[in-house]
A and B are shown apart, each in its own frame.
Chain A
C-alpha cells in the first residue's frame, strides 16, 4: 500500500506504537513519499508526547545533573583502565620471585606501605568529609525540589501574571503562590535595574502591610526561577515588583514597576 492513511488518528496510533504488521508497514511505506503525511505524523508525535505530563511528578536527584555536567568533560574511554588493572599482577609476580632473598628490604617496603596507607587514610577521610558536605547540599536541593513539585501540584496554588506599569521598565514576571503552604515560586524577566538599585518582589495581603518576597539580585535582567517562604495563611490581594535601593527594603519605598492582582 502506498496511499494516504484513511483516518487522521492513524498517525496518532502509529506514534503511540500500537500498530503492528500490515497496519504499521502500510504507514511506514507511505511516509517517505509524502511530506504532508510526514507533517501529520510530526503533529501526532507531539500530541502523544504530551501524555508524558500525565505521569506523577518525580523530580530527579540533584546528583543526576552533577553527574551529567561531569560526564560532558570526560574524554572517551581509553585502554588505561585495562593497563592499570594489570599492574598489580606484575608487581605481585615480582615480589613472589624475590621473597626469600629480600626479607630486610621487605620490612622497609612494609614501613613504606604503612606510611602510604596512613596518608591514603587521611586523604580518604578528607574526601569523606567533602562527600558528606556534598550530600547535605544535595539533600537541601532535593527538599527544595520536593517543595516546588508540591507547589506545582497543589490545586489551591494560584497563578499571577505581573504586568509592567506605564513609564516603568518592561518585564514579564509570573508567580505561583500557595497561601496554605506559605510558599511562592517566581520566574520571568525584567529589564536591568539602574545602578545601585534592586527590584524587590512583594506580596500585598488583603489586610496589613506588604510582605517582602525577596530581592531580585541580578542587574542583568532575566531572573532564575526561585522559591520563597512566606508566612502561612496570608491571603494575597496582589503581587508587585518595586524599584528599591540596592539590597531591598523592609517596606516598599520606590515606584511600582510590575503588578498583578490575585484573581
Chain B
C-alpha cells in the first residue's frame, strides 16, 4: 500500500491547479499521477520512441507548473487540454516542426464530456473509446488513426494510402460522426 502525498486525492483538478498556482509541488505530483499514463500512452503511440516521449511528457507537466495560471478550469477539462498539448507537441516533433508552432493551443478550450479525475473513470472511458473504434469499418478506423496519431491531413492520407481524396474525406467524416454518436450515447 502506498503512502499519502499530503494532497487530498479527492481534490478536483481545479483545486489542484489552484494549488499549483500557489507553488504547491504535491499538487503537481498528484496531477502527474492522475494523467501521466494517459499522456505517455498517446506520446509513445505517436512517436514510437520512449526517450522522446518522456521528454515531451516532462515538458508538458513542466509547462503546467509554469503556466498553471493560464488554465481556466471553468472553461474546460484539464485532461483534454493536456492530451491536446501533448499530441500537438508530439506531432510537431514527428514532422520536425518548431515546437512554438503549437503554442497557440495554450489558451485553447477543450471540453471533455465526462469527468476523468479518477482511475476508474479513466478505465471506463478507455473501454468506451475502444468499443466506439471497434464498431468502425477497418478503412475508416485506419484513416482516423493516420489523422490522429500521425497528424496527417486529408491530402496526406490520400497520398499515403493511394485512395481518392473524396473517399478519404468521406471515411474520416463518417468516422468522426460515429465516434461522436457512440461517445455521447
Contacts and interface: CB of A to CB of B under 8 A. Distances in A.
Interface range on chain B: under 10, 10 to 19, 20 to 34, or 35 or more? 35 or more
A89 interface: no
Interface range on chain A: under 10, 10 to 19, 20 to 34, or 35 or more? 35 or more
Interface string B60-96: 0110010000000001110110011011000100000
A9 B5 CA distance: 43
Nearest to B172: A18
Interface of A: 7-9, 12-13, 16-20, 38-39, 41-43, 45-61, 63-65, 67-69, 71-72, 145, 149, 152, 159, 174, 176, 185, 187-189, 214-218, 220-226, 228
B97 to A, nearest CB: 12
Contact of A64 (B57, B153, B180): B57
Contacts of A55: 41-42, 44-46, 149
Q: Which of B110, B147, B172 has the most CB of A within 10 A?
A: B110
A84 B62 CA distance: 27
B130 interface: yes
A262 to B, nearest CB: 15
B41 A47 contact: no
Main secondary structure of the interface of B (DSSP, over half): helix
Nearest to A61: B54
Nearest to A45: B110
B98 interface: no
B143 to A, nearest CB: 9
Contacts of A189: 8-10
Contacts, number: 202
A185 B145 CA distance: 31
Interface of B: 1-5, 8-10, 25, 28-29, 32-33, 36-42, 44-46, 50, 53-54, 57-58, 61-62, 65, 75-77, 79-80, 83-84, 86-87, 91, 108-113, 118-120, 122-126, 129-130, 133, 144-145, 147-149, 151-155, 157, 172-173, 176-177, 179-180, 183
17 contacts: A17-B153, A20-B154, A46-B110, A46-B112, A47-B180, A48-B148, A52-B38, A53-B38, A53-B125, A152-B123, A159-B120, A217-B1, A221-B8, A224-B3, A225-B9, A225-B33, A226-B2
Given A9-B176, A50-B183, A68-B58, A16 B36 contact: no
Given A13-B173, A20-B153, A60-B57, 8 more contacts: A19-B153, A47-B180, A60-B54, A68-B61, A187-B120, A216-B1, A220-B4, A222-B9
B178 to A, nearest CB: 10
A45 B149 CA distance: 15
